[in-house]
Amino acid sequence: MQRELSHKKVGIPRAISYYNNYPFYYGFFTSLGIEIVLSDKTTTKIINEGCKYVVSDTCLPIKVFTGHVVNLLDKGCDVIFVPSIQSTGYKINNCSKIRGLPEIIRNVINRDFKMIEPTLDKTENITFKDFWKNTAGYFGITDEKVINNAIKSGWKVYNDFIAMTKSGIGYHEALENAINGKIVKKSVDIVKPLSVAIMGHGYNLFDDRISMNIIKKLEKMDVKVYTSLNVSHKDAVDSIAGIGEIQYWANELELTGTAAYYLLNNKVDGIIALSAFGCGPDSLMVDEMMYHCKETGMPLIHLTIDEHTGEAGFVTRLEAFVDMMMRKKRNLLNKQSAKTPKTAAEVVKIRNDKVLTGSAK
Ligand code: SF4
């Protein structure tokens, strides 16, 4: 058992697991009366700070995580949550950097602070409950009933968040609502001329600085965007099997599972793979999806990001991809329809007519 902390405050870096799990973290820690201090939103300064501490060929998300730990220390927060999430299911593993996150941080940041570093390793039978019992233990909380209630509170906030994102509410709005105990669902699904699915880790996609606001940029181009937040766990698992693959990576549901779901359902006009330069797991998953997209004629673009990625080139590639999808769709609808669509509005109208008559592809 670790030494009990004298004050009930925890710093959470706004990076890596924050983007998937913060609603749960919020419900759990606040239920135990532990105050949360969040690092600031990612900025160029935070990225540059992280880059100073780790070797240059480390992937961007780990540099960003390191920068967020430094940001918390600079704010005077010296107790920081750095979990080691080894595996999320039997032999469903994270990459070595996420597995060894506490070791990386301990070895690169030579400052005086305490890490809350529980391990989740379902392959080795270290369960979700063990993980949270261990976390609570750092704060001297050992009462099973209190911990179980905190886990329930975590699930409540998390499930509210997921219910909202599934209904089509965006990541940031759903998060804000969930932690404020509000549930708002989107009732109308707006039809747009084009739709895409993005396969990418939450920590790349929903960090507006890292993703260079890709979702908003696409929406401004009149493109409907789907992400892993719109796909249920079961659908993602089934879709990986549906394209004949086997889940190995913990993050695979966000990448292969999401892309495969939209590919199999033929619900989108294209797939965007957004990944960090130098990421081993991503390169395997993206290659796999490229193969399946090629087989089925689904357009896919792979955008890689690092700390040097320039916004202008990124936008040019996005615009070119959107133009190509629109040309392809016009040609397809042209073949299926007597009337050639000239504008985006006509593309939507023809698309809607086909949905109503059940003939949409
Ligand atoms: S999965 Fe890839 S991007 Fe994410 S931490 Fe590991 S190496 Fe980096």
How much of the chain, in percent, has pLDDT values that exceed 90?
A: 77
Q: Is the dihedral of CA 64, 224, 317, 289 positive or negative?
A: positive
Distance CA 49, CA 73 (A): 12
Q: Note whether 9-164 and 190-357 share their fold.
A: yes
Ligand 1 atom closest to the Cα of residue 278 is: 7
In Å, how far are 25, 283, 289 from 292, measured between CA atoms? 36, 14, 5
Tell me, in angstroms, the distance from the centre of ligand 1 to residue 206's CA.
15
pLDDT tens string 247-278: 889 888 899 999 999 999 988 999 999 999 88
Tell me, in angstroms, the distance from the centre of ligand 1 to residue 279's CA.
5
pLDDT bucket at 360, cuts 50 / 70 / 90: very low
pLDDT tens string 329-345: 888 877 776 566 667 77
Give the pLDDT confidence score for residue 341 in this predicted structure: 66
Distance CA 230, CA 252 (A): 15
Residue by residue, DSSP assigns 223-234 as EEEE-GGGS-HH
**Taking 90 as the threshold, does the pLDDT of residue 354 lie above it?**
no
Q: Into which CATH architecture does domain 190-357 fall? A: 3-Layer(aba) Sandwich (3.40)
- Comparing 51-55, 339-343, 345-349, the range with the smallest average pLDDT is 339-343
Give the pLDDT confidence score for residue 6 in this predicted structure: 64
pLDDT tens string 275-305: 998 898 999 999 999 999 999 999 999 999 9
Establish whether residue 68 lines the binding site of ligand 1, counting it when its CB lies within 6 angstroms of any ligand atom: no
Helices (H), 121-224: 128-137, 144-166, 171-179, 202-205, 214-220
Distance CA 155, CA 24 (A): 6
Distance CA 240, CA 264 (A): 10
Give the start-to-end residue ranges of the domains of the chain.
9-164, 190-357
| Residues ≥6 apart with Cβ < 8 Å to 34 | 8, 9, 10, 139
Q: Is the dihedral of CA 163, 164, 169, 173 positive or negative?
A: negative
Name residue 194's beta-bridge partners: 223
How much of the chain, in percent, has pLDDT values that exceed 70?
A: 92
pLDDT tens string 113-163: 999 999 999 999 999 999 999 999 999 999 999 999 999 999 999 999 999
Q: At what angle do helices 144-166 and 128-137 cross, to 10 degrees?
A: 120
Rounded to a whole number of angstroms, the distance between the first and last alpha carbons of the chain is 58
Q: Which helix (H) or strand (E) holds 80?
A: strand 79-81
Name residue 84's beta-bridge partners: 119
Distance CA 35, CA 27 (A): 11
Whether 8 contacts 34, CB under 8 Å: yes
Which residues in 281-311 are b (16+ Cβ under 10 Å) and which e? Answer: bbbebbebbbebbeeeebbbbbbbbbbeeee
Distance CA 264, CA 241 (A): 11
Tell me, in angstroms, the distance from the centre of ligand 1 to residue 311's CA.
21
- Comparing 215-229, 233-247, 323-337, the range with the smallest average pLDDT is 323-337
**Taking 90 as the threshold, does the pLDDT of residue 348 lie above it?**
no
Q: Into which CATH architecture does domain 9-164 fall? A: 3-Layer(aba) Sandwich (3.40)
Nearest-CA residue for ligand 1 atom 8 is 59
**Taking 90 as the threshold, does the pLDDT of residue 26 lie above it?**
yes
Tell me, in angstroms, the distance from the centre of ligand 1 to residue 95's CA.
6
**Taking 70 as the threshold, does the pLDDT of residue 19 lie above it?**
yes
Establish whether residue 97 lines the binding site of ligand 1, counting it when its CB lies within 6 angstroms of any ligand atom: yes
Establish whether residue 329 lines the binding site of ligand 1, counting it when its CB lies within 6 angstroms of any ligand atom: no
Of 98, 47, 100, the closest CA to residue 71 belongs to: 47
Establish whether residue 285 lines the binding site of ligand 1, counting it when its CB lies within 6 angstroms of any ligand atom: no
Distance CA 253, CA 261 (A): 10
Ligand 1 atom closest to the Cα of residue 95 is: 6
> 163 is written with which tokens?
């219910």
